[in-house]
Amino acid sequence: MAEKKKGSPGMTIFSPCRVAVAVSLAMVVLGGIGVAIWALVTYLSRTEDTGLYDVQVSSTDKRLRVFDSAQRRWRHICSSSADQLLASISCEEMGFVRVVNFSSIQQSNDHDFFCVKENELTYGKKISTVLYPCECETGEVLALTCQDCGRRSLTEERIVGGVDAKQGRWPWQVSLQYDGVHQCGGSIISDRWIVSAAHCFPERYRHVGRWRVILGSIYNNPTHKNVVIAEVQTVVYHSSYLPFVDPNVEDNSRDIAVLALTAPLQFTDYVQPVCLPTHGQRLVDGQMGTVTGWGNTGYYGALANILQEANVPIISDIVCNAPDYYDNQITTSMFCAGFEKGGIDACQGDSGGPFVTEDCLSKTRRYRLVGVVSWGTGCAMAKKPGVYTRVSRFLPWISTAMRTYEGNPGVHKMARV
């Protein structure tokens, strides 16, 4: 696809989330993808070291709590003048992008609390580093609600080798169109922001008013039912995406961009945001993920008319950097996913689209945007899997871009933060 441009408290191996993911992997195996046996064995053989993420919001009273790794206990957060900032940063840390509301509520009979070092609280820094055990003299703790994400409202269940997606199955998937022609995919992360790839915005495609976002449907044709058309106000791409600096450079690191819409989206059964990774979340070698898009169904094929989906396993960096794979071209800001024998892959036109995995880090099963379709050699070739931007490496960049360029029209470039 070189031209594709397309926690902390431990849980047992039989935790409900782990079993659910294992069942999903087993279904893929039974579906006829024999190579996925390796993925299943690899995934189940790993020690469960994530369990619940160490920052949580109670589903009943919305109180924020953080796991004290030293004392091995959960603590609620004592309310302070930094509540608004802490609420916003906490939601981002959990992958929820933004806070909906927050409040201070009377503490219960609990005796385990954290207080905040207010002058040290900042975006991009894990909140656990600015908390310390205290008695909570205010008598109130922080409660908050984050924007929901990564869940499908509907339960019904041409990527090369993929299958047609069902309506509403991937409600965060969008088509980015320039002058009415599909160019790239993207993922909804909030009611105003979309994540895509930097390489989708070369100089010839930087007239922001000529971009449109098509969402809410498995069809990328605006005449189809349920299709929503949104206008783009702002594009921000990573200024260190080197092919834009020197066309002869083959390093595709930092291939990421975000887009702001001119008006907020109305979420429906067919339009929903996907979660971002939690801060510090690691990819699991062998874990199955899903890539979706309207890209070519073969290297020399045409764009798909219906959204395609394909399940492929994450490949370790060591394997993907081997001489017969990509020979050390995979940097820390990328990862590979696919099968050794090929056959299933993203292709031209899938660029910028989502690679998602499912987890239970926030108690509820959610999909997270762990990868953005970036590059590769050919499409679905043996030992040439798809290469994806590793989203977890760019969480501070995404957060800063959204806060810096909110309401700032045009196309902008922003360096690493």
Q: Are strands 257-261 and 193-196 parallel, antiparallel or unpaired?
A: antiparallel
| Maximum C-alpha span of the chain | 67
Q: In this structure, which amino acid lies at residue 33?
A: I
CA-based R_g, the chain, Å: 21
Residues for the chain: how many in total?
417
Token digits of residue 263: 């008006």
Pick the CATH number of 163-414 from 1.10.3430.10, 3.40.50.300, 3.40.50.620, 2.40.10.10: 2.40.10.10
Start-end of CATH 2.40.10.10 domains in the chain? 163-414
Q: Which residues contact 63 (CB under 8 A, 6 or more apart)?
A: 57, 76, 105, 141, 142, 143
Q: How do the pLDDT tens digits run along the chain, 417 residues long? A: 333 444 333 333 334 455 454 545 444 444 444 444 444 444 443 333 437 899 999 988 999 999 999 999 999 999 999 999 999 999 999 999 999 999 999 876 777 999 999 999 999 889 999 999 999 988 899 999 999 999 987 654 445 556 678 888 999 999 999 999 999 999 999 999 999 999 999 999 999 999 999 999 988 887 777 789 999 999 999 999 999 989 888 899 999 999 999 999 999 999 999 999 999 899 999 999 999 999 876 665 678 888 999 999 999 999 999 999 999 999 999 999 999 887 776 676 789 999 999 998 988 899 999 999 999 887 778 899 999 999 999 999 999 999 999 999 999 999 987
Token digits of residue 66: 């953080």
CA angle 276, 280, 283 (to 5 degrees): 75
Token digits of residue 229: 């058309």
Q: Does 57-146 carry CATH code 3.40.640.10? A: no
User: How far, in Å, CA of 22 to CA of 334, rounded?
Assistant: 25
CB 183 within 8 A of CB 168: no
Start-end of CATH 3.10.250.10 domains in the chain? 57-146
Token digits of residue 257: 């961009």
Catalytic residues: 199, 255, 351
Half-sphere exposure of 23 (CA within 13 A, CB side): 8
* Global confidence as pTM: 0.86
CB 159 within 8 A of CB 291: yes
**How many contiguous H segments (helices) and E segments (strands) does the chain have?**
5, 21
**Predicted local distance difference test score (pLDDT) of residue 50:** 39
User: How far, in Å, CA of 221 to CA of 307, rounded?
Assistant: 11
User: How far, in Å, CA of 215 to CA of 230, rounded?
Assistant: 8
Would you list the DSSP string of 75-113? EEEBP-TTHHHHHHHHHHHTT--SEEEEEEEE--S---E
Q: Indicate if the alpha-carbon torsion angle 242, 400, 272, 261 is positive or negative.
A: negative
CB 335 within 8 A of CB 255: no
Hunting for tokens 């219906």 — which residue is that?
Answer: 306
Q: In this structure, which amino acid lies at residue 38?
A: W
Query: In 216-329, at which residue ranges do the beta strands (DSSP E only) sit?
Result: 228-238, 257-261, 288-293, 308-315
Token digits of residue 78: 């004592």
Give which of 371, 98, 102, 356 is closest to 256, Cα–Cα. Answer: 371
List for the chain the helix, strand, coil content (%; round to 5).
20, 35, 50
User: How far, in Å, CA of 173 to CA of 168, rounded?
Assistant: 10
